[in-house]
A = this chain, B = another copy of it.
Amino acid sequence: MKVDWIAVSCSDTSLQAWVFGSSGEILDELTESISSPAKATDIIDRVSPWLDKATTPHRVSIIACGNIDHIPNYTCVPCAPLSAPILDGGIKDDRATLQIISGISQASPADVLLGAQVQIAGFQAKFPKFDGVLLLPGPHSVWAHVSADEIVSFQSFMTGELMAIISQSSSLKSCLGDGFWDDRIFDDALSEALSRPERLAAKLLSLRADHLLGQAKGGSAKARLAGLLVGAELAAAKPYWLGQMVGVIGADALTEIYINALKSQGIAAQHADPTEMTKAGLALARVQQLS
């Protein structure tokens, strides 16, 4: 296999990798579940079958991004998403050199990006004239103000993860029903939380009261939980989206929830596929590495 380089993207729960040939074509790809942040050695292990098949005369370059268990290096905003030095840490073995894309940090409010910046770089490569705000939904959603090829400021929210741990590990678990979804209940909860976001911890318990008093309709509590949490986030992130051009990078059910929430506030967001943006961003890092 004539391998040019390998791209890797790690989240807390999965590792995706692509092996590129010399004309930029994808020769093979893999997605694997992981249970904790990947270490550099884990990454080498996962792509090892490709390294064994590689006929390249020199070490294969692996470029990785995301939540990787190593001592990270950060570039402070404002900066380009893939600021120099873009590659940090990393290890070598006989067959490969692994380099990890450095994170981006912000002093105030204190915040870090570990992988979102790569998707943002990919988005900028695909839509070079975009000037506005990018939203990346996920366990930790990210709002980033992007202008003149730089990330100007950003803010992460724990909303998706709160939704997951409240659904799976809290006393509300038994109140949440079986996934029935009611758009109107979502919209009402979103409006409530947008206008009184500080009441979140009380509003969450109203789910239990509705359940105990028999006022919850079907499994509608799930829509209400999502509306309350996303509404509180939209209230806090208002300086990001109000009157702005917004792009959303995401493809899952949570992304759809955010897009609907923005729509209810009069924001028609531009939508981009996260895997495509990751690949485009990692390819840019490869170009920087060679230049």
Given contacts A169-B165, A171-B12, contact A158 B205 (CB under 8 A): yes
CB of A13, distance to nearest CB on chain B (Å): 11
Query: Is A254 close to B, CB under 8 A?
Result: no
Task: Report the bound CA distance from A171 to B229 in whole Å.
Answer: 18
Contact of A198 among B111, B197, B209 (CB under 8 A): B197
Taking a contact as CB atoms under 8 Å apart, the answer to whether A158 and B201 are in contact is yes
Interface centre among A165, A199, A205, A213 (most CB of B within 10 A): A205
Contact of A210 among B74, B110, B206, B210 (CB under 8 A): B110
Query: Which residue of the partner chain B has the closest CB to A229?
Result: B201
Taking a contact as CB atoms under 8 Å apart, the answer to whether A198 and B235 are in contact is yes
Task: Report the bound CA distance from A164 to B202 in whole Å.
Answer: 16
Taking a contact as CB atoms under 8 Å apart, the answer to whether A209 and B105 are in contact is yes
Task: Report the bound CA distance from A68 to B112 in whole Å.
Answer: 45
CB of A3, distance to nearest CB on chain B (Å): 33
CB of A149, distance to nearest CB on chain B (Å): 24
Query: What residues of chain B lie closer than 8 Å to A171, measured between beta carbons?
Result: 12, 139-140, 161
Query: Is A4 close to B, CB under 8 A?
Result: no
Given contacts A112-B209, A140-B205, A198-B198, contact A170 B165 (CB under 8 A): yes
Given contacts A110-B213, A208-B112, contact A155 B74 (CB under 8 A): no
- For A150-192 the 0/1 string (1 means CB < 8 A from B) is 0000011111011001101111100000000000000000000
Q: How many residues of A contact B (CB 8 A)?
A: 49
Given contacts A198-B235, A235-B198, contact A204 B110 (CB under 8 A): no
Task: Report the bound CA distance from A159 to B198 in whole Å.
Answer: 12
Query: Which residue of the partner chain B has the closest CB to A238?
Result: B198
Query: Is A35 close to B, CB under 8 A?
Result: no
Taking a contact as CB atoms under 8 Å apart, the answer to whether A199 and B236 are in contact is yes
Contact of A202 among B166, B170, B198, B236 (CB under 8 A): B236
Query: What residues of chain B lie closer than 8 Å to A110, measured between beta carbons?
Result: 206, 209-210, 213, 215
CB of A2, distance to nearest CB on chain B (Å): 38
Contact of A232 among B139, B159, B201, B235 (CB under 8 A): B201
Given contacts A198-B198, A205-B140, A208-B112, contact A213 B74 (CB under 8 A): yes
3 cross-chain pairs, A with B, having the tightest CB-CB distances, nearest first: A197-B198, A110-B209, A157-B201
Q: A158-B172, A162-B170, A162-B204 are in contact. List 6 more A-B contacts (CB 8 A).
A: A111-B202, A112-B212, A139-B171, A156-B209, A158-B201, A201-B229
> Can you spell out 5 A-B residue pairs with CB atoms less than 8 angstroms apart?
A105-B209, A110-B213, A156-B209, A162-B204, A198-B236
